[in-house]
Amino acid sequence: MVPIELVLALGAILFCIGLYGVLTRRHLVIVLVCIELMLNSVNINLVAFSSIGPFANITGQVFTLFVITLAAAEAAVGLAILIALYRNRESIDAIKQDLLRW
């Protein structure tokens, strides 16, 4: 059995890689991909506690299903927004989307 600290450390590392990507990349598709990476690392934590945690039970896997549903819906709406943005502004560079900047 894998010690739970190793699995949690993997989740933390993946989360931080995704967060760094969201903060620094300029291509908006890559920003969405990094958000998916972050949600996935949350899933790793939930499944780890559900499987080898101190009070292992099924609830973590049920919540993982909800998170996967949420991630799919978010990716669909996000890509639709990107396509509309590209049609209207001819660019999906994150820096150029400054219409609401004060």
How many Å apart are CA 89 and CA 66, to the nearest integer? 34
Interaction between residue 23 and other proteins (CB under 8 A): yes
Q: Which is nearer to other proteins, 27 or 102 (CB)?
A: 27
**Residue with token string 């899933």:** 43
Segment 45 to 84, residues that bind other proteins, using CB under 8 A: 47-48, 50-59, 61-62, 64-66, 68-77, 79-84
**Which residues are bridge partners to 93 per DSSP?**
27
Q: Is 97 in the site for other proteins (CB under 8 A)?
A: no
- Cβ neighbours of residue 88 under 8 Å, at least 6 residues apart? none
Which residue, 77 or 99, has its beta carbon nearer to other proteins?
A: 77
Q: Nearest 5°: CA angle at 64, between 78 and 24?
A: 40
Least Cβ distance, residue 8 to other proteins (angstroms): 5
Shortest Cβ 102–other proteins spacing (Å): 19
